[in-house]
Amino acid sequence: MSAPLLKVDGLRVEYGRTVAVNDVSFEVAPGEIVGLVGESGSGKTTIGRAVAGFLTPGAGSIDLAGDRLGATRSLAQRRGVQMVFQDPYLSLNPRLSTWSMLRELVTVHRLAPKAQVDDFVRTVLGEVALTEELARVRPSRLSGGQRQRAAIARAVVLRPQLIVADEPTSALDVSVQASILRLFASLRTELGVGFLVISHDLSLVRFLCDSVLVMQDGEIVERGPVAEVLTAPQHPYTQRLLKAVPRLPSYAKTSGNNREKP
Amino acid sequence: MTSTRPGATLVAGLAVVGTMIVLAIAAPLVTGHDPTALGLTAGLQPPSWSHPFGTDQLGRDVWARVVYAGRTDLRVGVLAVLAPLAVGTLLGLLAGYFGGPLDRVVRFVIDTVMAFPFYVIVLALVAVLGTGERSIYLALAAVAWVNYARVVRNGTRGFAGENWVAAARGGGLSRRRVIGRHILPNAVPQLIVLAVTDVVFVILAIVTLSYLGLGIRPPTPDWGTMIFDGQAFVTTQWWIAVFPGLAVLVTGIGFSLLADGLADLYRERD
């Protein structure tokens, strides 16, 4: 088995006296998409933010490709893990076009020679299927899906090894959700990026992820390949979570219930 | 009900302020009189062709003094806003972004300064520092920065918690870059509106200080001093006080329209 891309070991995060995440360990292989599911408040986002470096863990370690990620990260370490946020309306600077945002990142990280910065940005825009015209306007003029593509471009431009995606489609229309999920799948295939996808949407996890971690009260209670965990859950919490997924009633039942009495 | 066409306020503000600035700059061209030249035999003359705004008790041409005073008051008004704008913006950005002890100290100083009436502190400082332009700049800088600091601090505190700031930091951008290139531009529209509004306030403060004998030193023409000089004659030779008073009023309205117009413009663009 290849060395893990991300190795989280004994992670503990506290907010004051509240323990949000307790002794969590897991791995993500290169190019793997791992889903992190659980109810609100189970600690999913906290893990994502700790891996992305937005908060400092109380205990435990986070390694990316064998490199220990500490409280302060080097430029290269920051580049290695990027995050895509839930709400694309709040995750883009209102006064900065996608074009300027990407150019700045390419320049700061010296990802391309000066003369080729624009070409590099165009390549990234192509990867996320965003036109240059749309990239040059302010985020307020973009639709939700276009904004999320811009946010994904911001992550992808740094050529990260891992992308943490926190509920990446929950703020989008259903029609747009599918295109964003296909984009993730293609980025994995084309760029070999690993994903940690935080979601409470089990159908999204079933569609996109290779394996899944189920969280309850800050701890992982079940893990394994998606096909196994979501079809034959072992832990009672996972079973409850699956049962809680709303299903459309069958046509016969619906029509029966709604049938007018003579 | 018909609404005012967007931009009309801005155009009106620009027209009024622009006219006042052009008159001030072109003062030697719009009047043939020296604003400080005494004409002891021509004192207290009512408005006429040769003296459109009349003359004061020392025979000085009031129109010449009004336009030359515009040079002083507009210059001091604009310059006196720049230092508080810079200081307040910087402190507001740092306090809002970093929070913690720095934020607590900045907020404490803001609250303390704001607890005193503006004129009480300014008068006390000018009384200590002595009269003149330099004292006006120092006194206003010491007091007026709190408005900018408060607005910028509150805005920055909100922005600092937004995901786009987290993403910028997570993308490896330095704190200085995030504050200067990402957060500051989001505060700029509000700052411009506040600064333009403040010019009116500062001009009124200069006029008030000069009226009280603590502002611009004679014989430099200044609207406040002119109003003070004319108040003894206001019932008989009204033109001495009324014209500089109107100049203050028109300038104030002009800058207020400009601030409103800019605020509308930014709201529309966003």
Looking at the complex, does the CB of residue B171 fall below 8 Å from at least one CB of chain A? yes
Is A17 inside a domain boundary?
A: yes
Does position A53 have pLDDT exceeding 80, yes or no? yes
Q: What is the pLDDT of residue A83?
A: 93
Phi, psi at residue B158, to the nearest 5°? -65, -45
Of the partner residues B168, B170, B172, the one whose CB lies closest to the CB of residue A109: B172
Q: Please measure the distance between the N-terminal and C-terminal CA atoms of chain B and give it in whole angstroms.
A: 25
CA distances from A61 to A4, A22, A77, A167, A198 (A): 14, 12, 14, 24, 20
Does position A247 have pLDDT exceeding 60, yes or no? yes
User: What would the mean pLDDT of B234-255 be, rounded to a whole number?
Assistant: 93
Question: What domain range includes position A165?
Answer: 6-258
Share of chain A above pLDDT 90, in %: 59
Q: Chain B contacts of A90, Cβ < 8 Å? A: 162-164
Is A175 inside a domain boundary?
A: yes
Of the partner residues B162, B171, B186, the one whose CB lies closest to the CB of residue A105: B171
Is A1 inside a domain boundary?
A: no
Quick: pLDDT tens for A66-94.
999 987 899 999 999 999 998 888 899 99
Domain count, chain A: 1
Q: What is the pLDDT of residue B153?
A: 96
Query: Could you tell me which residue, A57 or B32, shows the higher pLDDT?
Result: A57
Distance from CA of A78 to the nearest CA of B (A): 6
Q: Chain B contacts of A95, Cβ < 8 Å? A: 185-186
3-state secondary structure (DSSP) of residue B99: coil
Q: Please report, for the domain that includes residue A181, its CATH number.
A: 3.40.50.300
Closest residue, chain B, to A101 (C-alpha): B168
All structural domains of chain B, each given as residue ranges with its CATH number in brackets, are 24-38+51-269 (1.10.3720.10)
Among B189, B174, B161, CA closest to A104: B174
Is A223 inside a domain boundary?
A: yes
Share of chain B above pLDDT 70, in %: 97
Tokens 């015209």 identify what position? A133
Q: What is the pLDDT of residue A248?
A: 65
Q: What is the pLDDT of residue B34?
A: 87
Is A116 inside a domain boundary?
A: yes
Is A166 inside a domain boundary?
A: yes
Of the partner residues A52, A78, A90, the one whose CB lies closest to the CB of residue B172: A78
Rounded-to-integer distance, Cα A196 and Cα A31, Å: 10
Alpha helices in chain B (DSSP H): 8-25, 27-30, 62-98, 100-115, 118-129, 133-160, 163-170, 175-177, 184-211, 223-230, 239-269
3-state secondary structure (DSSP) of residue A242: helix
Q: List own/partner pairs for A104-113 with CB under 8 A and 24 or more apart.
A: A104/B173, A104/B181, A105/A154, A105/A157, A105/A158, A105/B171, A105/B172, A105/B173, A106/A157, A108/A75, A108/B171, A108/B172, A108/B173, A108/B177, A109/A75, A109/A79, A109/A158, A109/B172, A111/A157, A111/A158, A111/A159
Is A39 inside a domain boundary?
A: yes
Looking at the complex, does the CB of residue B268 fall below 8 Å from at least one CB of chain A? no
Looking at the complex, does the CB of residue B163 fall below 8 Å from at least one CB of chain A? yes
Q: Say if CB A191 and CB A159 are below 8 A apart.
A: yes
Instruction: State both tokens at A166.
Output: 């926190």
User: What would the mean pLDDT of A101-109 be, rounded to a whole number?
Assistant: 95
Q: What is the pLDDT of residue B5?
A: 61
Looking at the complex, does the CB of residue B267 fall below 8 Å from at least one CB of chain A? no
Weakest-pLDDT range from A3-12, A244-253, B44-53: A244-253
Weakest-pLDDT range from A172-186, B153-167, B244-258: A172-186
Quick: pLDDT tens for A13-30.
999 889 999 999 999 999
Quick: pLDDT tens for A179-228.
888 888 888 888 889 999 999 888 889 989 999 999 999 999 999 999 99
